[in-house]
């Protein structure tokens, strides 16, 4: 099922539920009348896109999570092309916490990341992502390499990515969200991202290329089953 086949209220509900969220009726209702939101919840249940939990909350089914992946702009069988920036400030690296429900890595730290748009060069994506974080363009950018990455959700749904990495140095005054590399072991960082950063940090001339596979065992629990550089 394509997101375009759903009513806008149903799309709104699925975006709020995301991959792992369990949400009460009142949180989903928003500004809509209760009978209207109840109607669309029932429609989504009939389409096997959501279900009720034992404590009367709503969550997405396996089919629903596949549709949620569609909101990211790609079919599950095609890799989503992403670019991540390794931004150094002295011996620290910039990390941001994931807050969107449209990710299984919610509340974990990641590098600044954005989708590579159609006909967009990697350095154009990098400048756009950097400017969103710091309000200016970077002085210079260095291409580090790329990974074919596959994430398997706990119910078997697969997400595939082509993930590019570039690095740059931050020369401004901001200190917030810059973390020393030796603190990473005590932080909840997306599996594998800390390894990538350490490879770049400790091997300055390291070029990254390889395959990366992650399996979700449970909510917030993951195993790296393959990480070839």
Give the pLDDT of residue 44.
Answer: 95
Residues 209 and 144: their CA atoms lie apart, in Å, by 8
Which domains does the chain carry? Answer: 3-70 (1.10.10.10), 80-228 (3.90.79.10)
Task: Please state whether the predicted TM-score (pTM) of the whole model is above 0.85.
Answer: no
Nearest-5° angle of CA 120, CA 124, CA 127?
Answer: 150
* Distance of alpha carbon 10 from alpha carbon 214, whole angstroms: 30
Q: How far apart are CA 193 and CA 144, in angstroms?
A: 14
pLDDT tens series, the chain, 229 aa: 666 788 989 988 887 887 666 889 998 888 889 999 999 999 999 999 999 999 999 988 888 877 876 665 444 446 788 999 999 999 899 999 988 777 888 899 999 999 888 778 888 999 999 999 999 999 899 988 888 999 998 888 888 888 999 999 999 999 999 999 999 999 999 999 998 999 888 876 767 788 999 999 988 899 999 888 7
Predicted pLDDT at 101: 72
| Residue found by looking up tokens 């091997």 in the block | 203
CA 221 to mean position of chain CA atoms:
15
Q: How far is CA 48 from CA 41, 73, 206, in A?
A: 11, 21, 46
Q: Is residue 47 helix, strand or coil?
A: coil
Q: E strands along the chain, which residues?
A: 50-52, 58-60, 80-89, 92-94, 96-97, 109-110, 113-115, 142-152, 158-169, 178-180, 208-218, 221-228
pLDDT of amino acid 165: 93
Give the model's pLDDT for residue 155: 80
pLDDT at 76: 42
Give the residue carrying structure tokens 């967009």. 120
Q: Report the SS3 class of residue 86.
A: strand
The vertex-207 CA angle with 79 and 177, nearest 5°, equals: 75
- pLDDT for 78 equals 60
């Amino acid at each position: 099922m394509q997101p375009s086949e759903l009513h806008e209220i149903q799309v709104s509900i699925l975006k709020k539920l995301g991959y792992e969220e369990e949400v009460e009726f009142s949180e989903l209702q928003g500004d809509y009348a209760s009978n209207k939101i109840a109607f669309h919840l029932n429609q989504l249940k009939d389409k096997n896109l959501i279900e009720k939990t034992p404590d009367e909350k709503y969550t997405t089914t396996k089919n629903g999570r596949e549709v949620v992946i569609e909101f990211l702009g790609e079919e599950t069988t095609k890799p989503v092309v992403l670019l991540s920036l390794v931004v150094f400030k002295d011996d620290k690296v910039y990390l941001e916490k994931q807050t969107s429900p449209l990710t299984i890595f919610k509340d974990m730290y990641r590098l600044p990341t954005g989708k590579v748009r159609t006909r967009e060069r990697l350095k154009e994506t990098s400048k756009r992502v950097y400017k969103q974080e710091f309000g200016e363009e970077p002085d210079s950018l260095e291409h580090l390499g790329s990974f074919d990455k596959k994430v398997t959700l706990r119910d078997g749904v697969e997400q595939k990515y082509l993930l590019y990495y570039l690095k740059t140095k931050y020369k401004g005054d901001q200190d917030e969200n810059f973390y020393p590399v030796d603190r990473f072991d005590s932080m909840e960082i997306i599996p594998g991202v800390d390894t990538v950063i350490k490879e770049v940090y400790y091997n300055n001339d390291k070029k990254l290329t390889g395959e990366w596979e992650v399996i979700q065992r449970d909510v917030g629990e993951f195993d790296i089953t393959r990480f070839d550089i």
